[in-house]
Amino acid sequence: MYIATLLTNPDQPHLTEATVAAQRDAWQGGDIVWLAPGEAAEFALPEVPDDRWPAWEAWQRKGVDLVIQPAQGRRKTMLLADMDSTMIGQECIDELADEAGVGPHVAGITARAMNGELDFEEALEARVSLLRGLDESVINRVLETRITLAPGGPELVATMRAMGGYAVLVSGGFTAFTHHVGRLLGFDETHANVLLIEDGRLTGEVAHPILGRAAKINALERVTKHLEIPEADVIAVGDGANDLGMLERAGTGVALHAKPTVAAQCDVRINHGDLTALLFLQGYARDEFART
């Protein structure tokens, strides 16, 4: 048995009974369950339809995400999340670079690295080198004035933890940001790279070993072993090429507003919904979300 979930941007809910029923009827699905009026609905399917992706494309044009997944085991006990452009709305290194006066150049490198066009570690070292000499106080300034939590993140983490889940934040960014974001959102663990600082200024180097794609897979392996749960019990979310390893290994890997080459390699793609989509995908109704 499978579950088809349809969901929209929570700020612009526009699903209707008629349009959802039309898709259900075309696929001979089960009863429609509304997880949030106008925003998210689901129905059971006996099998994955042959026209899944044409239907997905049609719904995308309407501003709706369509996900089909096995019904069994879709509620997860562990969340593994990327940070930059996932749990927050920015790329931290781009914001630091903007403060250093090299924002556009670094942002271009970041975009190519996240799309898988550049080696992640080499790209990170190249970008960090451009921050050499920046006063360390700029980190707190960026945190206070530039970094915003992504919509739905507080509800996602709070609900999964309230249901007994474990939340891990693993970033190719920097500990100065993951510690802050992880504390705000209530993550159980945070892991990231360390910006080296001497005499109050950034050295333009990052501590080794650099946490990249392999580090996210290692976190998946290590934490699931520690919790004594299978990798199938993990829901992972990210947007960049360095997230693909963990997205492929997790029971449910969600490409959230992901780079094109990343989304193309994932079956679960959220382009219109926010982070609460990860709760809808697990069958939680909005009135079951934990208060934040």
1-72: CATH architecture = 2-Layer Sandwich (3.30)
Structure tokens at 276: 């609460």
Q: C-alpha distances in angstroms, 201 versus 84, 126, 135, 138?
A: 23, 17, 4, 10
Which superfamily is assigned to 75-90+148-292 in CATH?
HAD superfamily/HAD-like (3.40.50.1000)
pLDDT in tens, 160-215: 999 999 999 999 999 999 999 999 999 999 999 999 999 999 999 999 998 888 89
> Could you tell me the residue ranges of all domains in the chain?
1-72, 75-90+148-292
Average of per-residue pLDDT across 66-71: 98
Measured from the Cβ of residue 212, the count of other Cβ atoms closer than 10 Å reads 19
Catalytic residue among 50, 65, 82, 233: 82
Please pick, among 65, 84, 243, 274, the residue that the annotation labels catalytic: 84
Look at the pTM and tell me if it is higher than 0.75: yes
Is 84 part of the annotated catalytic residue set?
yes
> Please, what is the Cα angle at 4 between 254 and 186, to 5 degrees?
40
If you search the block for the tokens 């919790």, which residue do you land on? 227
Q: Active-site residue 82, yes or no?
A: yes
Q: Are 190 and 178 in contact (CB under 8 A)?
A: yes
